[in-house]
Amino acid sequence: MMVSDVPICHTCGEPVGVDGNGQLFVACHECHFPICKVCVQYDIKEGRNVCLRCGSPFDENLLMDADTKRSGDRNTMASHLSHSQDVGVHARHVSSVSTVDSELNDESGNPIWKNRVESWKDKKNKKKRPAVKTEQEAQIPVHQQMEEKQISEEAAVTHSFSSVYPIPSSRLTPYRIVIIMRLIILALFFQYRITNPVDSAFGLWLTSIICEIWFAFSWVLDQFPKWFPVCRDTFIDRLSARFEREGEPSQLAAVDFFVSTVDPLKEPPLITANTVLSILAVDYPVDKVSCYVSDDGAAMLTFESLVETADFARMWVPFCKKFSIEPRAPEFYFSQKIDYLKDKVQPSFVKERRAMKRAYEEFKVRVNALVAKAQKTPDEGWSMQDGTAWPGNNPRDHPGMIQVFLGNTGAHDIEGNELPRLVYVSREKRPGYQHHKKAGAENALVRVSAVLTNAPFILNLDCDHYVNNSQAIREAMCFLMDPQVGRDVCYVQFPQRFDGIDRSDRYANRNTVFFDVNMKGLDGIQGPVYVGTGCVFNRQALYGYGPPTLPSLSKKSSSSSCSWCGCCSCCCPSKKISKDPTEIQRDAKREELDAAIFNLGEIDNYDEYERSMLISQLSFEKTFGLSSVFIESTLMENGGVAESANPSTLIKEAIHVIGCGYEEKTAWGKEIGWIYGSVTEDILTGFKMHCRGWRSIYCMPMRPAFKGSAPINLSDRLHQVLRWALGSVEIFLSRHCPLWYGFAGGRLKWLQRMAYINTIVYPFTSLPLVAYCSLPAICLLTGKFIIPTLSNLASTLFLGLFLSIILTSVLELRWSGVSIEDIWRNEQFWVIGGVSAHLFAVFQGFLKMLAGIDTNFTVTAKAADDAEFGELYMVKWTTLLIPPTTLIVVNMVGVVAGFSDALNGGYEAWGPLFGKVFFAFWVIFHLYPFLKGLMGRQNRTPTIVVLWSVLLASVFSLVWVKINPFVNQVDSTTVAQSCIAIDC
């Protein structure tokens, strides 16, 4: 928020001011976080000597200045913060209820424009009445002023709900030094490799050089975004002390939970029910929690299981809150192998726990009976209890459906307490419309929730990710409601944790390296990427509004800046400008106003006529769609709905906003909400927010916030990776590619851009990886090698390169806390996924984007006899198994052939064999988990996989022997002359 181009302090809301030289005061020269000198000095006195945004230390001059003024400024700072709280530093984050009526007709004009004008008038009147405020303050008794001053001082001490601290320099500095050393060694290594070609195997040498250059490029993209890793702490007690004062209503912000499901036969309703129950029992004020379940398959099974879930929640929620149990998903709570009596001192706990477990077993029987009944659909379709046909009998052609189960319907738990709201939503589906799968379902939930509850924050979860930490929402609120860092935070991302994975984690299902290393590094730049689940969003960021800390719009500039990402050259078509100076000025003003629509902090800079243009209903309808109720909700920064709103009217409006044609000719999926255009809509959505200038936060509480179920067998894991890689390829071929999107705005930091580039180019590493994994076998079969005879310098370079690789990994796990096994499993699956799923994703992506051909790889399950981790050894036939199996067979054949040649060639042949066999075993060791998973515990492999792999290996070997391109061709005339000379 800017006043006369002077930034506002994030702590106290006052202008930042100037320093001793008359220049704008800057506390942090790294990220230019707007904070005034008084607040900086106070933070330094409290021991916080680093920037809250980026973690960089403050200037030494500020530290010295704070020491000299330690005693004189304490009272000034306290009053400063007291004033900031009165003005409303926290007002943006407190969930309030709007008193504006939600009119659906336009009989008396546009209600949105009226309400905004009234609010502007109020703001103006407040600015023109400073004398009245002074008189009112003078009338306050002295003892009351002293009490308020004491309260403000206490609030100043506890005003920060979170803190950021960099990784200790003793761990991070050696890590960075090794990275620089590795870069230098890589440069010397490539200088040697390129200047020393292998003439006898030039093709192999050239292939290896190209592959190695790409691997180095990929390493740079992956490594440097981890240059500034940080960790964060939260202070939930301070949050409660500030927003949950005894005897007063809770002022914590409301949260809308989104749970998405499609097919109840593939996503068991019992798992979805556990997720919903864990949400309803979360440790948060019940009137601030609403749970929306999106059934994109319109299945009656999902609806009926949700009815049973709502009924069971009346017993489960009070039980969880009474005894503070964790986790609050009954299936996972009762399956824990721990002492459940630990820390439970209530004598009635054992009795009530047994009764609750019995009730849950009965609940499971009812849900499983519904699942068994749904296995066979009647010919006439499903019917409801009143005999009418279920509207969703045709999942591709049905009307929108909404059902409110709990909340304001009068349903209470068994103890008479209110329960959170639970809403079933199934958006309209009609033939001929593009529904955009999960992204479209999430956008429909955004609109429904805005009409019914309009919480300022949204948390989305997959149906198999339950709330494992009942205080997870409070953890997120420590950032989103923090007056210092919350204003420009678009979302708080939690790491994904999983149940049901064996200890060895053979296929790297936990993704520990990504969640514990890469995401910490991104948190030190502009924030972690959005990973699709376990994320708390600022609703205003989803609507496309820019962060309040954006710099003010330049009225003198005639060029337009895109309101979405800050650059018109990347995402907005250029507008034709007339040669007439008057028209040029008018067009520039109009473009400036259009840009300001999504930066509401600039509204005060315009007169009333310009504001009418700015807030016109036509502009919003083109963006958000034809719903005045929804449009009005987008202007409520603090959330809430009108008190006088009629519930039946709101339900009708909610049905309207989930219509299949509502998004036509709007910005939904293009610039606002979840972004369309890729199966990995999560990457695109987070990328667009970061391009607009927002930042995100990575929150890693001691107890994992959410836990989910991971596909643990080999085929399912490869198909999961295939979907992710395909989404990255789609983004690479779209207009949102980070290689060329959003440069002109300058709001996306370079290291953050590098991280996003890495997320969309990594599937292309599969091409050089397949070639590089084939080179050892080719060298062993032909007797050639990609490296010439090593000199002392070359040996030193190779040794230094391997040592730097090892040191980088060791120092990385030292500051991140991950284990060596996790890094090794990640390295192994990088090869496994690279030569299989990533390879198929590249070809499938190009076929889909360029030729319009959508190729699907089906999976057929086989039976498994193992009880524990039985799915881990389940073998499923899929095309993805062929390339890695072929590589294993070819390399094994090459090793055998190499040793045979060495035995026949004598002592001198063993030296060159060592290097070739080393690289062959490198490939085999990395593919070992794949081989183990392919064989299974009972060593049963689908015959088709063995046949295809042996066939490809045989054909490859025969063709190689026939062509033999890397051996010099001998002319027959030369052979005849040689024979004559020898007198043969």
Q: Which helix (H) or strand (E) holds 272?
A: helix 269-280
Q: How many CA atoms lie within 13 A of 528 on its CB side?
A: 29
Cα angle 231, 237, 239 (rounded to 5 degrees) comes to: 80
Give the whole-angstrom CA distance, residue 982 versus residue 975. 11
Give the whole-angstrom CA distance, residue 226 versus residue 520. 7
Q: Residue 118, Cα to own-chain centre: how many angstroms?
A: 39
Q: Which helix (H) or strand (E) holds 422?
A: strand 421-426
Q: Is 568 helix (H, G, I), strand (E, B) or coil?
A: helix
Per DSSP, the chain holds a count of helices (H) and strands (E) of 36, 15
**CB count in 10 Å sphere of residue 534:** 27
Choice among 413, 682, 716, 822 that is catalytic:
682
505 is in an annotated binding site: no
In angstroms, the first-to-last Cα distance of the chain is: 95
**Backbone phi, then psi, for 505, in 5-degree steps?**
50, 60
Per-residue CA distances from 915 to 191, 629, 782, 919, 940 (Å): 21, 71, 14, 7, 33
Give the whole-angstrom CA distance, residue 119 versus residue 117. 5
682 is catalytic: yes
Pairing of strands 489-493, 535-538: antiparallel
DSSP string, 688-735: HHHHTT-EEEE---SS-SEEEE---SHHHHHHHHHHHHHHHHHHHTST
Give the whole-angstrom CA distance, residue 782 versus residue 967. 8
462 is in an annotated binding site: yes
Per-residue CA distances from 737 to 571, 841, 935 (Å): 11, 17, 40
Which residues on adjacent β-strands are paired with residue 401?
426
Q: Is 260 helix (H, G, I), strand (E, B) or coil?
A: strand
Give the whole-angstrom CA distance, residue 898 versus residue 875. 32
Choice among 43, 256, 295, 296 that is catalytic:
296
The DSSP secondary-structure symbol of 775 reads H
296 is catalytic: yes
Do 857 and 878 touch, CB atoms closer than 8 A?
yes
633 is in an annotated binding site: no
Do 891 and 777 touch, CB atoms closer than 8 A?
yes
**Backbone phi, then psi, for 851, in 5-degree steps?**
-110, -10
121 is in an annotated binding site: no
Q: Which two tokens stand for residue 817?
A: 């806390």
575 is in an annotated binding site: no
Q: Which two tokens stand for residue 949?
A: 């792999």
266 is in an annotated binding site: yes
Handedness of CA 664, 670, 671, 672 (dihedral sign): positive
Helix H, strand E, coil C: the string for 97-155 is CCCCCCCCCCCCCCHHHHHHHHHHHHHHHHHCCHHHHHHHHHCCCHHHHHHHHHHHHHH
Per-residue CA distances from 285 to 240, 243, 282, 480 (Å): 11, 11, 9, 17
Q: Which two tokens stand for residue 794?
A: 């070359």
Q: Is 211 helix (H, G, I), strand (E, B) or coil?
A: helix
Give the whole-angstrom CA distance, residue 679 versus residue 734. 12
Q: Which two tokens stand for residue 540?
A: 């205003």
Amino acid of residue 227: W
Q: Which two tokens stand for residue 198?
A: 């292998």
Cα angle 621, 627, 628 (rounded to 5 degrees) comes to: 85
Which residues on adjacent β-strands are paired with residue 706?
467
Give the whole-angstrom CA distance, residue 529 versus residue 762. 15
Do 682 and 530 touch, CB atoms closer than 8 A?
yes
152 is in an annotated binding site: no
- Specify binding-site residues for Mn(2+): 438, 462
Where is the binding site for UDP-alpha-D-glucose, in residues?
Answer: 260, 266-267, 296, 437
* Residues involved in catalysis: 296, 682
Q: Which residues are annotated as a binding site?
A: 260, 266-267, 296, 437-438, 462
